[in-house]
Amino acid sequence: MSDLLRVAAAQSASVPGEVAVNVASAVSLVAEAAERGARVIVLPELFLTGYAPETWTHEAGLELDDPVLTPLTDVAAARSVVVVVGAAVRRALDETTLTALVVDGDGVVATYDKQHLCGPERDFFTPGKGGTSLVVDGWDLGIGICYDGCFPEHAGAATADGALAYLCPAAYYAGGEHRRDLRYAARALDNGIYVVLAGLTGTCGSGLFTGGSAVYDPEGRTLTRVQEESPAVVVADLEAAEVRRAKAANPVEDDRLDGLGPRKRVVLS
């Protein structure tokens, strides 16, 4: 594997239901990130179709072979990059998943369906049934989507499967900044891996989203971050040696117990 992998997290506003418009925005963000040397580029949750629950319908779900995605495939091919971007994907007549698409020059080459749905997502989307990792230039990269990253076991499962970084498209409403910034830094520290978070910005339907795209190092430190700027791209180099160093210094994976045994409860008067 290569010692370094340059990644980008990109953020912008999304227009509900206007997939072609959002694809054009994605192409612009990808081109900027590629100009800055990124090999892997992460864009926000539901970016291509919009995070606006009042507009969600199964008929509006994206088909994976939809020609509307061609400009994204073309820019990935031209720039030799891999793009991870969120969309609502129609799986059946009455089934839609909240999905991260992995796009390269060959089109959509992998998907991950969000497992931990929250709020209005539960009333519409079908949860995913398993995890997804991809390997780029020898780097094993796990994928989570927003609320997935609030559960230590989700990033932990990716790490146990070999992930050196955890890529998270996200969409945080205004007011959730504190939780957002703590949780993804914690997932990095928990596992001794990098975390790349790409957050939706601006107004989408009735919601206001606050970005916060960032890259965290394996100690949970912020390498780079933006707040509500839109559009914006942050870029960072991931170093395999830093993952090895962090895991040696903090061997949580090796020291984790298989179980914690029986628990006593003592009631004092």
- Kindly report the CATH number assigned to the domain that includes residue 29: 3.60.110.10
Judge whether 269 lies within some domain: no
- CB distance 171 to 200 below 8 Å: yes
Find where tokens 């340059």 sit.
6
Find where tokens 């933006």 sit.
226
Element holding 107 (H helix, E strand): strand 107-113
Judge whether 262 lies within some domain: no
Judge whether 231 lies within some domain: yes
Torsion angle of the four alpha carbons 10, 74, 142, 150, in this order, in degrees rounded to the nearest 10: 40
**Domain limits at 241?**
4-255
48: exposed, middle or buried (C-beta count within 10 Å: 0-12, 13-18, 19+)? buried
Q: How many domains does the chain have?
A: 1
| Residue 58: Cβ within 10 Å count | 14
Judge whether 265 lies within some domain: no
Compute the distance between CA of residue 102 and CA of residue 114 in angstroms, rounded to an integer: 14
Nearest residue to 44 via CA among 244, 230, 239 = 230
Judge whether 266 lies within some domain: no
Judge whether 268 lies within some domain: no
* Claim: this prediction has a pTM higher than 0.95: yes
Compute the distance between CA of residue 81 and CA of residue 58 in angstroms, rounded to an integer: 30
Judge whether 28 lies within some domain: yes
| Residue 51: Cβ within 10 Å count | 26
- Sign, CA torsion 58/59/63/69: negative
Judge whether 136 lies within some domain: yes
Strands (E), 15-106: 40-42, 82-92, 95-104
Compute the distance between CA of residue 25 and CA of residue 31 in angstroms, rounded to an integer: 10
Tokens of 45: 């949750």
pLDDT per residue, tens digit, the chain (269 aa), is 889 999 999 999 999 999 999 999 999 999 999 999 999 999 999 999 999 999 999 999 999 999 999 999 999 999 999 999 999 999 999 999 999 999 999 999 999 999 999 999 999 999 999 999 999 999 999 999 999 999 999 999 999 999 999 999 999 999 999 999 999 999 999 999 999 999 999 999 999 999 999 999 999 999 999 999 999 999 999 999 999 999 999 998 889 899 999 999 999 99
Q: What's residue 253's pLDDT?
A: 84
- CB distance 221 to 214 below 8 Å: no
